Amino acid sequence: MDISQNNFPEILKLVKLHEEWMDETVNLIASENRLSPAVNEVLKSDFGNRVAEGWFIKY
């Protein structure tokens, strides 16, 4: 594609279409996900630092 001022309206149209698409979709890129306040509180607590290995078996 020849990038010049002649293509600016087409590029602007594509950018606007992309913005509309982003407004109508759910962005699932993990690095950009926002957690709910409740989940943030749990992860900041002791519970967020616990690690389980194997199966829990009550003896």
Domain boundaries, the chain: 5-49
Integer Cα distance of 43 and 19 in angstroms: 32
pLDDT of residue 15: 93
pLDDT at 43: 82
**Spans of the chain, pLDDT less than 50:** none
φ, ψ dihedrals at 46, nearest 5°: -60, -35
Residue 13 one-letter amino acid: K
Dihedral-angle region of residue 47 (phi above 0 means left; psi in -120 to 50 means alpha; beta otherwise): alpha
Q: Is the full-model pTM beyond 0.75?
A: no
CA distance to 7, 19, 27, 29, 39, per residue, from 24 (Å): 26, 9, 9, 15, 25
